[in-house]
Structure 1
Amino acid sequence: MTLTAVKPTLRNIPTITKLSNGATIIAEQMPVDAVNFNVWFNIGSAVESNQINGMAHFLEHMIFKGSKKLLCGEFEKIVESRGALTNAATSQEYTHFYVTCSPENFADLAPLQLDLVLNSSLPDAEFVREKLVVLEEIRRANDNPRRLAFEKAMNICFPNLPYSRPILGTQASIEPLGREEMYNFHRYWYQPASMTVNAVGNLPVEDLTAIVAETMEHYSRGQEMVKTPFVSESPFEEIIREEYVDSALKQSRMIMMWRVPGLMSFEDTLALDVLAVVLGQGKLSRLFRSLREDKRLVKGISASNMTHQVQGVFYIGSQLSKDNLDQVEGQIVDHIKDIQDNGIAESELKRVCNLVANQFIFHSEKPSDRTNLYGYYYSQLGNLDLAFNYTDSLRSLTVDDIQRAAQKYLNINGYGIVRAIDA
């Protein structure tokens, strides 16, 4: 194995270990009486075909149903008996599994977590039972008006990219899935080369690394995995609208969206992150102060820059009376045009950059924060440079950078919009 120390701008220095089978271990000692062990795969729903949409999330459920060494439910019982916690999550481009435990239990629990994810037995009876659980989860999601509006927005924004597909899948895609299909999906994608194994807590780095490496080195590299390359969608050149009535809504919702660069274009993404805060995050943001506090046109409004690897979406969502839909849409456009024409003040940029930087730092204090930070950046980019330099890069932005981002990416004559109207 090779040890490489990477110096971040964060206070501590994690140690990155690359194993011969392709797995990466990131370890850091932190003086907190806990260890968070977080296994990230750079695999999510984006690698699925339309026919097996939802497979990655379904597999996340099935991982906990046992392995060659563990019976169904045994891992959770062991974790609970040690006073530890475990859970998992699936996104478009990653899946991760984590355990938080006391330092003295790490050596016992980490190998079991690795055995579960790499040697999952996917028992037939549990596959049938868990499919019903997933289908019920899909039904509940379909009954959520807010989620429905967001899915419609993503379908407009990404007609050709898999980011528009629901991570849970659909009833039509999940019902026909067979256990053998899941076995093949797991065997192909869940390999050491797709793993970033993170361990942060109150044990020496050498111990954290050795415990994981001793288990991982028993697994071979496996076959070469091939991901289909994605081509970004073109920017909106006109206004694409969808409007529908939802009787489940108590108040109308509106989502306006623009296609923007993804994580691979980090500098542009950073400026858009700041622009989202300027426009619609917090009580001092422009849209909140103008449309909610001063004019009382909305019940709530927010802006976000959602980043995927290849392409992201900048969107503004609001809850409002259906009588105000046209006026609010026009007001949002006016606020964007004002930034495009006049920029923002230096004082506003400084306030927002300090806010975002502090949030980044505050969300990097616990072992679980660090493993999520390391897992996300390394699994998506193959290094931690952008994570370590995030606050410095943020504070180097200028008012011209923010104005250029608004001019370049938030076309006031070309965007997608979904209006969900209460009955």
Structure 2
Amino acid sequence: MPDAPLTCLDLWCQAGSSSEQPREEGMAHFLEHMVFKGSQELPAGAFDRQIEALGGSSNAATGFDDVHFHVMIPSEQAPRALQLLLELVLHPALATEDFGTEREVVLEEIAQYADQPDERVIQALLSQGCPDHPYGRPILGAAEQLLAMTPDAMRRFHRRRYRGNHCCLAIAGPIEATLRRSIAESALADLPSTSEIQSQAALSHRNGRHEISVPRLESARFLMLWPMAAADQLSLVMGADLLTSLLGEGRRSRMVERLREQLKIAETVDMDLTVLEQGSLVTLEVCCAEQQLHAVESAVHEQLHRLDTDPVEAWELERALNLVGNGLRFALESTGQVAAMAASQTLWGRQQSLLEPLQQLERWTTDELRAELFPRLQPEEACTLIARPGTSQG
């Protein structure tokens, strides 16, 4: 929109929950909250007021691998927005008087999360499938860990993780000469590095079968979790994305067509790939009536075993290629998503064309899927969780 140009400023840092040390669990997310309580130069609330006055908006998110803070702003206001963003994130006040108040907000968030049966089921699956890895822990942490945290401990975490070799700024949209000068003269230019290296332990996964009872769960759940290639193995990641679409996205996918359309034993069927730096995760979740759990499990196993015996037809592969490819293309239409993709790639040392995932996607054939990925997605390789509606957790 030439008459209303927007620039996205997206500051990423290798400071997600997987970078937390013992007794820091939940620190990364708590720090994200505390950043917005103000900096050495910006009182609490001043950042939001000034960004909105400039015609922009801001937000932040904490994940397993990283945390990012982004601003969407009219392009002519980007230099001032950059100053505000860097001041807020790189120099948070972490004031003692705000620490207790904001901790209560996070504790309430943890309580709300625990009160949502669907979220409890997903967390149980991650905890059972990745019990010895940070990906198996809640990003929010636990109440007892939050209660033990101090402002000094948070300052140490911030000093350790928010450093030059852990940070990356991505900009999408018009970039004026004034913005380039602002970057060169900003706090990023002098941000010191640290000798600490982000741990990149390979994802540890444990298969097996588990059952739990979850109060107020409206429908029973059948879930499976498989480990997949890490984010830097782009070709395998794209193949896994293709396979999950072939199996579990849309009415014509194998799982949905069989369980919901033909057998009518499932309410919903969802299959997703979560791309992560230390190993990605594929999840399958089927909602059904409790009495249908056995039938659902049998049907899912049948479909997975038939991957190797029933050839993927040309129309199936073409459909999956279009679904995944168009999702990538649509993402390139969003300034915010372009900035996020560029930042994540740069942050983790895999700078590449934004079209590279599409090129890697096109290399997959049915024979390559069968040889490289079908064996990884078998029932015996999964962590399986049965969640039943109930009054107590078993």
TM-score tier after normalising by the smaller chain length: over 0.9
Answer yes or no: is the 8 Å Cα contact 1:65–1:121 preserved in 2: yes
Count of residues paired in the alignment: 390
Q: Which segments of 5 or more consecutive residues in structure 2 lack a partner in the other structure?
A: none
In 1, Cα distance between the equivalents of 2:55 and 2:192? 34
Question: Are 1:66 and 2:33 an aligned pair?
Answer: no
Q: Which residue of 2 aligns with 1:224?
A: 195
Whether the 8 Å CA contact 1:272–1:405 is kept in 2: the answer is: no
**In the superposition, relative to structure 1, how do residues 247 and 232 fare at CA in structure 2: closer, same or farther (>3 Å)?**
closer
Which TM-score applies when normalising by structure 1? 0.88
* Letter of the 1:255 counterpart: L
User: Which amino acid in 2 is paired with 1:37?
Assistant: L
Secondary structure, in 3 states, of the residue corresponding to 1:385? coil
Residue type matched to 2:376 in 1?
Answer: Y
1:125 alignment partner in structure 2: 97
Query: Secondary structure at 1:52's aligned position in 2?
Result: coil
Q: How does 1:104-253 map to 2 (within 5 A)?
A: 104-204=76-176, 206-216=177-187, 219-233=190-204, 236=207, 240-253=208-221
Pairwise CA distance, 1:285: 1.2
Q: How far is the alpha carbon of 1:341 from its aligned partner?
A: 2.2
CA 1:64–1:169 in structure 2 vs 1: closer, same or farther (change >3 Å)?
Answer: same
Task: Give the distance between the partners of 2:263 and 2:22, measured in 1 at CA.
Answer: 44
User: Residues 356-387 of structure 1, C-alpha deviation per residue, up to 9 Å, x if partnerless?
Assistant: 1111011111211210111122223x133264
Deviations 1:290-347 (A, max 9, x none): 1112221011001112221121222210110011111111111111111122331122
Counterpart of 2:388 in 1: which secondary structure? strand
Query: Does the aligned pair in 2 maintain the 1:39–1:98 contact within 8 Å?
Result: yes
Deviation at 1:235, TM superposition (A): 6.6
Identity of aligned residues (%): 25
| Partner amino acid, structure 2, of 1:189 | R
Cα distance, 1:218 vs structure 2: 5.1
Residue of structure 1 equivalent to 2:384: 417
Q: Find the residue that maps to 1:75 and give its secondary structure.
A: helix
Aligned residue in 2 for 1:9: none
Please state how far the C-alpha of 1:132 moved relative to its aligned partner.
0.3
The change in CA–CA distance for 1:269 and 1:263 in structure 2 (over 3 A counts) is same
TM-score (norm 2): 0.94
CA, structure 1 residues 209+329, in 2 after alignment: closer, same or farther (shift >3 Å)? farther
Equivalent residue of 2:196, what SS?
coil
In structure 2, the CA distance between the partners of 1:226 and 1:163, relative to structure 1 (3 Å rule), is same
The one-letter amino acid of 2:44's match is C
3-state DSSP of counterpart to 1:313: strand
| Cα deviation code 1:155-184 (max 9, x no counterpart) | 121121110010001111111100100011
In structure 2, the residue matched to 1:6 is none
Superposed CA RMSD in Å reads 1.8
**Residues 324 and 101 of structure 1: CA distance in aligned 2, closer, same or farther (over 3 Å):** same
Q: Please list the CA deviations of residues 4-35 of structure 1 after superposition, one character each: whole Å capped at 9, or x if unmatched.
A: xxxxxxxxxxxxxxxxxxxxxxxxx9986111
Residue 259 in 1 paired to residue 259 in 2? no
Gaps of 5+ in 1: 1-28
2:276 aligned partner? 308
